[in-house]
């Protein structure tokens, strides 16, 4: 196997890549819906709504239970009123049922030890990202953590990746994006960097291979073959 020898830094997605967070996202979504007098939804439905940050998750949930279109102005108003409730509930649930995927901690430690600079580039709001990382003992591994609200634009926009390139003075060939969603692969392609797609996460029920990352891995530890 040829190593990708130019890579110096790696940007990791969080939800569906490092952490299986849907059980808590679903619990918070349902607590919010019930508070609003709507019926709760299945975890499988919530899983299919994850990928574009907390606000879009709630927008999709409210659209589903109210049968209003996602761009209906009335839904927008409802969403604005509901977001503080969701943020409260998710803050309460954060790590109750979420789990690290197998191999994540050891592989990240090995990559860091090998000298790679590691970053988190997630669409999850920053305020939840940092406590979640420390709850799983991952906080010391990353030199940069970017949430979905850290910059003006989130994935699939390349902005967070371009930010890393600039901040770390890296050439495009030196940064790798690893994630479970087409938003990760689209952001990488738009930033002109390499990417690896993971098959076990959340991608709206679609095969990540259809987004054409440079490699597809079934287990987190499988990324090592390109790097170590
Ligand atoms: O919060 C989301 O919707 C997705 O988060 P992620 O970018 O870490 O997968
Ligand atoms: Mg993800």
17 plus 32 within the same structural domain: no
Q: What angle do CA 58, 104, 185 make, to 5 degrees?
A: 55
Alpha-helical regions (H) of the chain: 22-35, 43-49, 53-66, 73-93, 104-113, 126-135, 159-167, 182-190, 224-227
User: From the alpha carbon of 184, which atom of ligand 1 is closest?
Assistant: 7
205 three-state secondary structure = coil
- CB-based pocket (< 6 A), ligand 1: 13-16, 50-53, 57, 122-124, 181
Tell which of 54, 75, 93 closes a domain: 93
For the chain, give percent helix, strand, coil, nearest 5.
50, 15, 40
116 plus 215 within the same structural domain: yes
Tell which of 59, 93, 127 closes a domain: 93
User: Domain of 156: which CATH number?
Assistant: 3.40.50.1000
Whether pTM exceeds 0.95: yes
- Domain, as residue range, for 74: 22-93
Q: Which residues surround ligand 2, an ion (CB under 5 A)?
A: 13, 15-16, 180-181
132 plus 151 within the same structural domain: yes
Tell which of 64, 93, 122 closes a domain: 93
pLDDT per position as a tens digit, 3-38: 999 999 999 999 999 999 999 999 999 999 999 999
> In whole angstroms, what separates CA 53 from the centre of its chain?
8
pLDDT score of 1 more than 80: no
- Distance from Cα 15 to the centre of ligand 1, integer Å: 5
- Count of domains forming the chain: 2
105 plus 196 within the same structural domain: yes
User: Domain of 40: which CATH number?
Assistant: 1.10.150.240
Task: Catalogue the active-site residues.
Answer: 13
Q: What angle do CA 222, 224, 225 make, to 5 degrees?
A: 80
The ipTM is 0.98
116 plus 220 within the same structural domain: yes
pLDDT score of 120 more than 90: yes
- Distance from Cα 100 to the centre of ligand 2, integer Å: 13
What is the residue with the minimal CA distance to atom 9 of ligand 1? Answer: 15
184 plus 220 within the same structural domain: yes
pLDDT per position as a tens digit, 38-90: 999 999 999 999 999 999 999 999 999 999 999 999 999 999 999 999 999 99
- Distance from Cα 122 to the centre of ligand 1, integer Å: 5
196 plus 122 within the same structural domain: yes
Residue 3 domain-assigned (yes or no): no
Q: What angle do CA 156, 158, 162 make, to 5 degrees?
A: 155
- Cα–Cα dist 31/214, whole Å: 39
- Cα–Cα dist 123/209, whole Å: 21
């Amino acid at each position: 196997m040829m190593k990708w020898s130019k890579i110096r830094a790696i940007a990791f997605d969080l939800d569906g890549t490092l952490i299986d967070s849907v059980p808590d996202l679903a619990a918070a979504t349902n607590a919010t819906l019930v508070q609003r007098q709507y019926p709760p939804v299945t975890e499988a439905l919530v899983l299919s709504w994850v990928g574009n940050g907390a606000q879009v998750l709630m927008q999709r949930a409210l659209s589903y239970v109210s049968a209003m279109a996602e761009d209906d102005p009335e839904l927008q108003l409802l969403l604005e009123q509901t977001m503080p409730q969701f943020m409260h509930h998710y803050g309460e649930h954060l790590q109750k049922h979420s789990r690290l995927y197998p191999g994540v901690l050891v592989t990240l430690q090995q990559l860091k030890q090998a000298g790679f600079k590691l970053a988190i580039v997630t669409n999850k709001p920053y305020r939840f990202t940092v406590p979640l990382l420390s709850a799983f003992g991952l906080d010391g591994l990353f030199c940069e953590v970017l949430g979905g609200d850290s910059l003006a634009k989130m994935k699939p926009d390349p902005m967070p990746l371009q930010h890393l390139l600039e901040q770390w003075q890296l050439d495009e060939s030196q940064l790798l994006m690893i994630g479970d969603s087409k938003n990760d692969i689209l952001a990488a392609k738009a930033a002109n960097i390499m990417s690896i797609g993971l098959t076990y996460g959340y991608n709206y029920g679609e095969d990540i291979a259809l987004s054409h990352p440079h490699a597809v891995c079934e287990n987190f530890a499988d990324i090592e073959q390109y790097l170590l």
